[in-house]
Amino acid sequence: MTLPSQALLDVSALEGAWRRRQLVVLAPPEQQAWAQSLLNPEQRSELEATWGPGVVVGSGGSTGGRRWCLQPLSHLEASAAATAEWLGLEGLDPAACLHLNPLPLHHVSGLLPLVRSHQWGARHQLVPPGLLREPEALVEAVALPDQPVLMSLVPIQLARLMAVPQARDWLRQLAVVWVGGAALPEALAAQARSAGIRLAPCYGATETAAMVSALTPGQFLAGASGCGQPLADVRLRIDAPTGAVEVATDRLSPGWIGDSGALEPLPRTVDGWWRSGDGGRLGSSGLEIFGRLDGAIQSGGETVFPEQLEHRLRSLAQAQGWPLQDLLLLAVAEPGWGERLTGLVRPVEPANGEPANAQALIAVLQAAVAAWPPAERPRQWLICESLAPSPQGKWLRSYWQGWLQSLEADQSPEP
């Protein structure tokens, strides 16, 4: 397999900068010029003097909008050490593993495999992200060695691989497949469990230097759900009034880079905990994530998590064979109720080239939710042929909320 030269140059440049004790701003190509302008030379030097080498990396944030998060290399290395300890408890020698990396370096989950491999003395192999969209090509291009192989995926990548028998067989040979970055659909988890794939659903954020909890593959295969127990250097708790997941660890980001280039300290509670934007609970198998708190709605006096309802419907669609490609539930203000849900639906395009029977799909969805509590039942369903998550598998809810508002205002939505 031939890697893109730019990927190798990026890794080499990053490693060289760290050897020179420098701070590196990591951003996708379309944001590089703007991101580099965040810090002037004086500000960059001040941060390097205080925090040492590290990165400034974009965070979709467990707290909402796009932010540029400072993570010192020492924090990234602490995260790698905690992951090594987790692997050791699983009977794996981190130094003996190959870490495949199909995620870009400007995402913290693509950055950590590089840091881990350096710290552990393990092999690190970049995998062009485009191969994850061509499962047969991936299997042909990436031969698995006779050693434990680790990999991190987002759910949309896992789903693409699970859809192809050869790729499922390939995944089954991996020692650990961490899955994070978005919620793991129940139906997809059930498929992976049935196929004997050693998934480790996990939870973390850019602000926490990636993973802070992970379910073990053994627990996953035995039927457990959720994101497992906290890693050795992490404490988790749930804020009682809000239901927010809170994290305490020495590898919390010092803060975000504001528009002026100044460091805005990461907000923490009085006793030093960082409050994420995710709702959840701590159960017998560890952390369970309910969904984004900023995505929760108040409907008829009830708190409703649209993401949970979406997962339920997607699981039903897969189990029943409904022609559902994508689905998103969004809130619309309604006097007397607070907010009610509207469902955006993208049907599967028929293989014979005939138009999709969208109205039949909507009728099936309406029947499926007929017995749900009124607060959870979408008041309307709309067909949206362009509906899709981002390439990283995350839903840009603010964009689709704007799309819906434009549609309801009888305007042409932005492309």
- Residue 352 domain flag: yes
The sign of the torsion formed by the CA atoms of 215, 217, 218, 224 equals positive
Say if residue 306 is in the same domain as residue 277: no
Say if residue 379 is in the same domain as residue 330: yes
CA 33 – CA 400 distance, rounded (Å):
27
Is the separation of the CB atoms in 234 and 245 below 8 Å? no
Q: Residue 249: pLDDT band by 50, 70, 90 thresholds?
A: very high
**Strand, helix or coil at 278?**
strand
Say if residue 134 is in the same domain as residue 206: yes
Phi, psi for residue 36 in degrees, rounded to 5:
-65, -25
- What is the domain extent for residue 73? 5-293
Mean pLDDT over all residues of the chain?
Answer: 88
Say if residue 272 is in the same domain as residue 380: no
Say if residue 264 is in the same domain as residue 377: no
Question: How many angstroms separate the first and last alpha carbons of the chain?
Answer: 36
Greater pLDDT, 396 or 415: 396
- Residue 414 domain flag: no
Per-residue pLDDT, averaged over 360-370, amounts to: 93
pLDDT for 286 beyond 60: yes
From residue 325, alpha-carbon distances to 183, 219, 317, 337 in Å are: 17, 30, 9, 30
CA 366 – CA 270 distance, rounded (Å):
46
pLDDT digits (tens, 9 = 90+) for 61-87: 444 446 889 999 999 999 999 999 999
pLDDT for 114 beyond 90: yes
- Residue 137 domain flag: yes
pLDDT digits (tens, 9 = 90+) for 291-331: 778 777 778 667 787 888 898 898 889 889 899 999 999 98
Q: List CB contacts of 47: < 8 A, sequence separation 6 or more.
A: 23, 39, 70, 263
**Within a 10 A sphere around the Cβ of 406, how many other Cβ atoms?**
13
From residue 207, alpha-carbon distances to 68, 142, 211, 234, 267 in Å are: 10, 32, 10, 13, 11
Is the separation of the CB atoms in 328 and 387 below 8 Å? yes
Predicted confidence at residue 61, as pLDDT, reads 46
- Residue 415 domain flag: no
Element (H, E) at 276: strand 274-283
The number of distinct structural domains making up the chain is 2
Say if residue 260 is in the same domain as residue 325: no
Q: Range with the lowest mean pLDDT among 89-103, 214-228, 250-264?
A: 250-264
Q: Residue 414: pLDDT band by 50, 70, 90 thresholds?
A: very low
What are the contacts of 371-378 at 24+ separation with CB within 8 A?
Answer: 372/309, 373/302, 374/299, 374/300, 375/299, 375/300, 375/301, 375/302, 375/304, 375/337, 376/299, 376/302, 376/304, 376/309, 376/341, 377/341, 378/329, 378/340, 378/341, 378/342, 378/343
> Tokens in use for 229?
């127990």
- Residue 65 domain flag: yes
Say if residue 134 is in the same domain as residue 55: yes
Candidates 379, 389, 384, 375; CA nearest to 403 is 384
**Strand, helix or coil at 54?**
strand
Last residue of a domain, one of 293, 316, 347: 293
Task: Based on DSSP, count helices (H) and strands (E) in the chain, helices before strands.
Answer: 13, 21
- Residue 413 domain flag: no
pLDDT digits (tens, 9 = 90+) for 45-58: 999 999 999 999 98
Is the separation of the CB atoms in 356 and 350 below 8 Å? yes
Last residue of a domain, one of 293, 318, 343: 293
CA dihedral 18, 154, 306, 273 (to 10 degrees): -30
Predicted confidence at residue 184, as pLDDT, reads 85
**Strand, helix or coil at 118?**
helix
**Within a 10 A sphere around the Cβ of 240, how many other Cβ atoms?**
7
Say if residue 225 is in the same domain as residue 364: no
H helices of 264-348, where? 306-320
Last residue of a domain, one of 276, 293, 310: 293
Say if residue 20 is in the same domain as residue 129: yes
**Strand, helix or coil at 187?**
helix
- The number of CA neighbours under 13 Å toward the Cβ of 320 is 14
> Tokens in use for 368?
């499926």
Q: What is the pTM of this model?
A: 0.76
> Tokens in use for 347?
């049907």
CA 96 – CA 149 distance, rounded (Å):
9
Say if residue 133 is in the same domain as residue 271: yes
Say if residue 284 is in the same domain as residue 324: no
> Tokens in use for 408?
């309801």
Q: Residue 413: pLDDT band by 50, 70, 90 thresholds?
A: very low
Q: What is the CATH number of the domain that holds 250?
A: 3.40.50.12780
Say if residue 311 is in the same domain as residue 279: no
The sign of the torsion formed by the CA atoms of 226, 229, 234, 239 equals positive
Q: What does DSSP say about strands 54-59 and 67-72: parallel, antiparallel, or unpaired?
A: antiparallel
